[in-house]
Amino acid sequence: MSAVVISGTGLYQPPYTITNAELVEAFNAYVDRYNAEHAAEIEAGTLTALSHSSVEFIEKASGIKQRYVMEKSGILDPARMYPRLQPRGDDELSILAEIGVEAAKKAMAAAGKTGADIDAVICSCSNLQRAYPAIAIEIQNAIGAKGYGYDMNVACSAATFGLEQAVNAIKSGSAKCVLVINPEITSGHQEWKDRDCHFIFGDVATATIVERADTATSSEQWEVLGSKLATQFSNNIRNNFGYLNRSEDSDPTARDKTFRQEGRKVFKEVVPIAAAHIESELTELGLAATDVRRYWLHQANLSMNQLIVKRLTGGEVTPDVAPLILDEYANTSSAGSIIAFHLHKSDLASGDVGVICSFGAGYSVGCVVVRKR
């Protein structure tokens, strides 16, 4: 059996940027508006006044300095506080497929592939625009690929879970060249009115080409040495939006229909889970944590990533060991670890080993161990 390699990656970056200063200005205007409208209830003690946010609070809590979004005017409107996207007809390419196609084109160019070379498409992300038809099949049609396509959702771990499915498809013979897409319009599920999380997410799309080594022609290839996935149920990160909301007579705009988390619990519980998961997979491959040249981790929180790598290596955690893209892109859910890999892989030497790892809601954690050819 031929080895399996990652032969190309692609990144689509949305056209608009929101800085922390812009975000704080809009959020604080919303807070003032809310507190004024509910002054009587707040005075009576039946409602709690909202508190202002600040640039310092955001950067200390997360390390995030800005984020890219598909639309910013709606997010920065204190009377709205969510994106203002335009609906598209059934005969038009959906917005999620559109950004996926843009990332796919770049990945295919890097891998030296055309749509005709792709025989499987996996769209793996945290939020899907619709129930059916699958976004993956829409992308498959748009790029002229053959074979099959399907959607999958494992929240922030969706990319690594998708990569393992791609590798397994190639090993089983059901595909020879797989396109894994991670389109993330996280601004649509972000709760922009909640001080604890209004700064967390950004929009982006990533794409990865996975294929047999004996068909790969790109100048930069990464052999997949192994991968490992795990899940453990938790309600600490949750979003109750879904197709049964109408049947439940549930308010589609209620707070539980957008992203919410118990951040401190997530930090405390996920760090040891992720570190142990990576260590276990490395051990199975006969590797030590110190054999790893670079860790491309899920980009949710700067302190979390530093602590995970420190648990593994016991040494100083530098950007060279664990690159940070969180400051520019914010948390892009499943795409974060792939952005880090895409932007910070070319300087490594042949034979260098790296780990792509993601973790998040579920809980879920996935890691893919690669070696530069």
Catalytic residues: 156
State the residue for tokens 């705009």.
253
Q: Which of 10, 345, 15, 369 is nearest to 203 (CA)?
A: 15
For residue 369, the SS3 value is strand
Q: Taking Cα atoms as reference points, which of 279, 360, 292, 351 lies closest to residue 321?
A: 292
The amino acid at 126: S
Place of tokens 């491309």: 296
Q: Assess contact for 165 and 122: CB atoms under 8 A.
A: yes
Strands (E), the chain: 4-12, 16-19, 66-69, 120-124, 148-152, 177-184, 204-212, 222-231, 237-238, 260-261, 294-297, 353-360, 364-372
The residue among 66, 367, 300, 12 whose CA lies nearest residue 184 is: 12
- Distance (Å) of CA 201 to CA 180, 310, 333: 21, 25, 8
CA dist 47 and 35 (Å) reads: 10
Calculated CA dihedral for residues 178, 181, 182, 187, nearest 10 degrees:
-170
- Sequence-distant (≥ 6) Cβ neighbours of residue 111 within 8 angstroms: 7, 8, 209, 211, 216, 217, 218
**CA gap 343, 232 in Å, rounded:** 30
End-to-end CA distance of the chain: 17
